[in-house]
Structure 1
Amino acid sequence: MTSHWPQPPATYALVQPRQAEARCGRFELAFSRHGARTHLGRQFVCYPFHMTRPFALDRAIPSLLTVYQQSSSGGLYRDDRLTSRYELGAGAAAHITTQAATVVHDCHGQPAHQVTEIVLEENAFLAVTPDPLVLFPGASSSSTLRARLAPGAVLLLSDAFTCHDPEGRLRSFDRLGSDVSIRDAAGRLLVRDNLEVSGADIAGPASPIGGWKVVSNFMLLGDPTRLPAAEALVALNDMASAIVGVSALANGAGFGLRCLAADAIAARSIGESLFELAVAAAFGIQPVPRRK
């Protein structure tokens, strides 16, 4: 068949395909204490984030709410720009976790960016314990966390990753970076922690992490009278399928822990044990297990 549509002139400029716009998701929650209980007040949640409702899982600790930060997108993708913000009023307490591990897909040289801002007022308690990132081949992720702690506040942070090639070809991720800054209520810098690693750095027989599968970093910060004893943290190293290193942080800010685990089960056990220690030290009561 012969087309009779007029042909474009030779000088006609072809339209270049428009690049996909970055996804800009927000997950912002503000908690306040009313009597013995913590309540969720101001909130803003948009795609790809999702939240159902907060859960009061600990009857013996009515001030502690648990929130599951969920995703409806299937993971992190190239050039994602996702922000989270948590504000806790005086005496409020919250636990932010995820429903499962988060897959970071091939980012094609455009890292996914996550920014978290935290503000804790006097005697507030916050645990932010997401499940690990699962870094697919070509994955690239950059995270920034900024926190301010008023006197008496306690903050537990967890950050973990593992690698996986769905095709079983042992391909590595691209890059992973994180930048954590902790300040007091006056804005004085207490601790800054940076991580920058490439997949090539930990691939192969000469890998600095050896045969360990999950890498976890924790910070337990705040009022020393509401933190576990160093001996209790060192005792976490008794598990045969994981190794844990504990360090006192600068400026008496708290403790930093590094963990290498043989598998996701061992990594979760260490994280759950640390959460239990943090809650027991802050409230004098063991928390109930969190279901996933």
Structure 2
Amino acid sequence: MRSLLQSCSGSDTGRSVDAALVVERAGGRSVLRRQQIRYPLHITRGFYLDATRPDLLTLYLQSASGGLYAGDRIRLNVDVGRGAAFHLTTQAATVVHAGRNSGATQRQRVYVEPGGFCALTSDAYVLFPDADLTLETDAVVADDAVLCLADGFAVHDPRKSDREAGVRPFKARPFERFEGRLAVSRPDGRLLLKDLGAIDGNELHNGALGPWAAAANLLLIAPQARWPARQELEQAADRNGALGGCSVAPNGAGLILRILAPDGGTLARAMDAAFHVAAAAALGVALARRRK
């Protein structure tokens, strides 16, 4: 592991990191066949948490640097082999610091071979004042494979409260921009869907999401027989204090759940509940809770 200076210094232009994980089925379970991980990324040892799916490998992706900084360019390739089952999640929310006119970009390339199951579920990205983050995902999924993607954002201004700072009224400083780009295709190159969206901090402050201050998407790409009921996904979000709306993805590729929440904690609970509904339908068994 090679340590780099954090990009909070004035002369630092950010970090360019290429990472890769290859998961294959061997000996009756899924194993991490190859890994390329560099600072600031770190992964735990593999966990097998599910008695009902003992072949399912779970890894926690961690940040050793305190979040994403201006100029960061993080690229992660994930390959899930034939018949393998893999869940990659984060250990906690990721703080996104001020973009300083260069922003941060996190790119994922995902390939899921026939019969494979891949879930990439990130806790919310916490956008600090002037944060500028772009998320890009390019996924290739076999016809009978399953891909579950979940990510979202919440906003936070770490400045002291109005009483502590002597400022009345206190008004949170906005983030700069949050943008998501997603493309999913089949191995033969057939495009299934593209999902593009962006929001500026000022738009959020001016009511673009109404009273909500956090948002997330959960995408399930799977054969229709392995979909949960759309109402179940929506109720999973609603029961946790969020607002969920589910629709069928283009080309009947799967389901898309949009979640709005008042804060990051509520969003995290709603995302977790929705993931477990989606995973239970796709795998046919209920998964254990992922402790964080």
* Superposed pair shares fold, TM > 0.5: yes
Alignment TM-score, normalising by the size of structure 1: 0.89
Farther off after superposition, 43-52 or 260-269: 260-269
Please report how far the alpha carbon of residue 132 of structure 1 lies from its aligned counterpart in structure 2 after TM superposition: 0.4
| Paired residue secondary structure (1:107) | coil
User: Given the alignment of the two structures, is residue 146 of structure 1 paired with residue 138 of structure 2, yes or no?
Assistant: yes
Question: 1:37 matched to which residue of 2?
Answer: 29
Question: 1:179 matched to which residue of 2?
Answer: 181
Question: 2:69 matched to which residue of 1?
Answer: 77
In structure 2, C-alpha distance between the alignment counterparts of 1:100 and 1:27, rounded to whole Å: 19
In structure 1, C-alpha distance between the alignment counterparts of 2:135 and 2:70, rounded to whole Å: 13
Residues 10-29 of structure 1 aligned to structure 2 (within 5 Å): 19-29=11-21
Equivalent pairs counted in the alignment come to 274
In structure 2, C-alpha distance between the alignment counterparts of 1:143 and 1:50, rounded to whole Å: 19
Counterpart of 1:244, as a letter, is G
Question: 1:195 matched to which residue of 2?
Answer: 197
In structure 2, C-alpha distance between the alignment counterparts of 1:167 and 1:266, rounded to whole Å: 21
Alignment TM-score, normalising by the size of structure 2: 0.89
In structure 2, C-alpha distance between the alignment counterparts of 1:240 and 1:83, rounded to whole Å: 32
Deviations 1:212-265 (A, max 9, x none): 232111111122222213232233354272110111111011111111112333
| Paired residue secondary structure (2:83) | coil
Conserved in 1, the CA contact under 8 Å of 2:243 and 2:259? yes
Question: 2:256 matched to which residue of 1?
Answer: 256
In structure 1, C-alpha distance between the alignment counterparts of 2:240 and 2:94, rounded to whole Å: 26
Question: 1:210 matched to which residue of 2?
Answer: 210
Counterpart of 1:192, as a letter, is K
Question: 2:43 matched to which residue of 1?
Answer: 51
**Unaligned stretches of 5+ residues in structure 2:** 1-9, 161-170
Question: 2:247 matched to which residue of 1?
Answer: 247
Question: 1:4 matched to which residue of 2?
Answer: none
Conserved in 2, the CA contact under 8 Å of 1:246 and 1:258? yes
Aligned-pair identity in percent equals 39
Considering only aligned residues, what root-mean-square deviation do their CA atoms show, in Å?
Answer: 1.7
In structure 1, C-alpha distance between the alignment counterparts of 2:260 and 2:14, rounded to whole Å: 33
Question: 1:265 matched to which residue of 2?
Answer: 265
Question: 2:283 matched to which residue of 1?
Answer: 283
User: Given the alignment of the two structures, is residue 107 of structure 1 paired with residue 99 of structure 2, yes or no?
Assistant: yes
